[in-house]
Amino acid sequence: MHHAALIPWLDPATIIGSAGPWALLVVCFIVFAETGLLVGFLLPGDTLLVISGLLSHPIAGSEHGVFGINVWIVALLIGLSAFVGGEVGYLIGHKGGPAVFERKESGLFSKKNVERTNAFFERFGGITVILARFVPIVRTFAPVAAGVGHMPWRRYTLYNLIGAILWGFGLTMFGYLIGFIPPVAHFVESYIDLILLAAVGGTALVTLWHYLSERHKAKKEAAAGEGETDAAEAEELALDPEVFDRAPDLDGDGKH
């Protein structure tokens, strides 16, 4: 196995021996935050899921990869985190109402992100809850938008469950299956510590880039006098319940 001398703490044996379940807990929290908290859109969930599945593949010294448990359990826990996150996001929107959208642009919240999510609902209806899982930013704001618009909870929960299974469980297992490709499996076994470094460093860089980008946009809008959403504007951002009953507009011609 190739080791990075300056980062021995990234060695799989070290992670499993000292961190125990913490590595998986961190992954699950990131997945939860990306779908349940309004700051979660800063986190790169898709890449993290695939890498988590890839690192669950058996490697030298560990039958179940860096997490030390069966990949089915890893995928189920990640899928569960995605589902719970979606439920929390819906609850925040349902209880908070339009006031959730009433705030200053900060880099952690953007009116444009809400409008982008609303556009998905306008086009795809309630199925947006499923599709949003695969679209960064939209997957963070979709549960909240559904809650603010009072989408029927039973229907939302069904769509949320399907989306969590396809995205959280599915992408993790996809990453795991990649490990059965001999060149990829050999690469993972030989350079596991460098892959971990890339995953940690890449996540940090992407998060920082998103945050700084949103901060820059927020400052520009504030300078133009557009940096704050008042009560009336927040009310307008709330979706009409009938939106959730529409059939998808798959061809984009405006007809459902």
Question: Does position 192 have pLDDT exceeding 60, yes or no?
Answer: no
Judge whether 68 and 180 are in contact, CB under 8 Å. no
Mean pLDDT for all residues in the chain = 74
Q: What is the pLDDT of residues 225-250, one digit of tens each?
A: 555 666 677 677 777 777 787 767 66
pTM (2 decimals)?
A: 0.75
Judge whether 49 and 31 are in contact, CB under 8 Å. yes
Q: Residue 81, SS3?
A: helix
Q: Rounded to an integer, what distance in angstroms lies between the CA atom of residue 128 and that of residue 122?
A: 9
Q: What is the pLDDT of residue 11?
A: 46
Question: What Rg, from alpha-carbon coordinates, does the chain have?
Answer: 20
Q: What is the pLDDT of residue 9?
A: 44
Handedness of CA 95, 98, 99, 102 (dihedral sign): positive
Question: Does position 76 have pLDDT exceeding 90, yes or no?
Answer: yes
**What percent of the chain has pLDDT above 70?**
59
Q: What is the pLDDT of residue 84?
A: 95
Contacts of 241 (CB under 8 A, 6+ apart): 149, 150, 151
Helix/strand/coil (H/E/C) assignment for every residue in 200-216 = HHHHHHHHHHHHHHHHH
Question: 217 vs 171, which has greater pLDDT?
Answer: 171
User: Mean of the pLDDT values across residues 220-224?
Assistant: 59
Question: 212 vs 17, which has greater pLDDT?
Answer: 212
State phi, psi for 239 to the nearest 5 degrees.
-75, 145
User: Mean of the pLDDT values across residues 112-121?
Assistant: 83
Question: 114 vs 227, which has greater pLDDT?
Answer: 114
Provide the b/e sequence for 8-31 (b: ≥16 CB within 10 Å): eebbbeebbeebeeebbeebbebb
Question: Does position 7 have pLDDT exceeding 60, yes or no?
Answer: no
Q: What is the pLDDT of residue 251?
A: 58
Q: What is the pLDDT of residues 127-184, one digit of tens each?
A: 889 998 988 788 888 898 899 888 899 999 999 999 999 999 998 998 888 878 877 7
